[in-house]
Amino acid sequence: MDHRDGKQAEEILKLQNSDGTWGTCFHALSLPNDRYALTTEQALRRLKILGFTREDKPVRKAVDCMTSCLTGERKIDDYWEKTHNWELFTKLMLSTWIRLFEPENTAAKAFAARWAGILEQAFLGGFYEQDAYLNAYTSEFNSRPKGSRELDFVDFYHINLLQGMLSKETEDRMLDYVLGKADGIFYVYNKPLGKVPETFASKETSWYLAAIEILTGFPLAKDKLTGIVNWLNRNTDENGQWDLGTKAKDQVYFPLSDSWRSADIRKLDCTERITGILQKLT
């Protein structure tokens, strides 16, 4: 179903700034709230979930703007976090969002290649070695990591950025490491991905699936996520549909349709999303 003409998309698009951004702040990968009524990241994430691509003019405008920021032609905003190497983190964010819509973008792919080189070194011994990661990071960026987000690559940005950039051996090792990590993927899901949520019809399952959706961007994930496929297939109703329940409506991943007043529409949304995941894994 095409959700790009729905009321939700309309509300987001009418708030886009003339330069292709949203709001006054680029970074806030969280639920919409009073502090960040709508950031560029929130808008782009929601539009992607609703089916927008690089071919849609609002997204193309945003990608062009982010590319200009990445190449230093302009500045994204005045926001700054002192706990990070903010210049580097900004490039990470921009490159990730650009590649989510335009994987072959020259500037973003070049930055992704630098991170891929770090991960190749970190897993060179057959498993993840923190010291190797730190040394490779320092060599590549001429500085030691500053802050927890730079000491750990398992987050929304790095995992998305690295798709299509790793050798087969490193991708295999990296996926095993991510699936076994106790605190999941930062910004997405904070529990181990190797253990499915206890309650299927829940907001937690929606967030868990968000992490799985990211991993489906890696070719080798298909062989590693067969248990997830079986789990999803075990949780269909008598009509072969899925239902994550009303609490899964978080205004980010759900709803896809304009309203969940009807349980049938909710089931269609849940089924559409899960079917999309299964198509990538089977």
Average pLDDT of the segment spanning 56-75: 97
CA 159 to chain centre: 8
**Contact at 8 Å (CB) between 98 and 90?**
no
In this prediction, residue 36 has a pLDDT band, given cuts at 50, 70 and 90, of: low
b/e code 204-227 from CB counts within 10 Å (16+ = b): bbbbbbbbbbbbbbbebbeebbee
Query: Max CA-CA distance within the chain?
Result: 58
In this prediction, residue 34 has a pLDDT band, given cuts at 50, 70 and 90, of: low
CA nearest 170: which of 134, 121, 212, 241? 121
**For the segment 150-192, what is each residue's pLDDT rounded down to a tens digit?**
899 999 999 999 999 999 999 999 999 999 999 999 999 999 9
Phi, then psi, of 155 in degrees rounded to 5: -150, 175
**Contact at 8 Å (CB) between 58 and 52?**
yes
The pTM for the full model equals 0.95
CA nearest 202: which of 240, 276, 253? 253
**Contact at 8 Å (CB) between 265 and 259?**
yes
Average pLDDT of the segment spanning 265-274: 98
Question: Would you state the structure tokens that stand for residue 95, as one six-digit string?
Answer: 């490159």
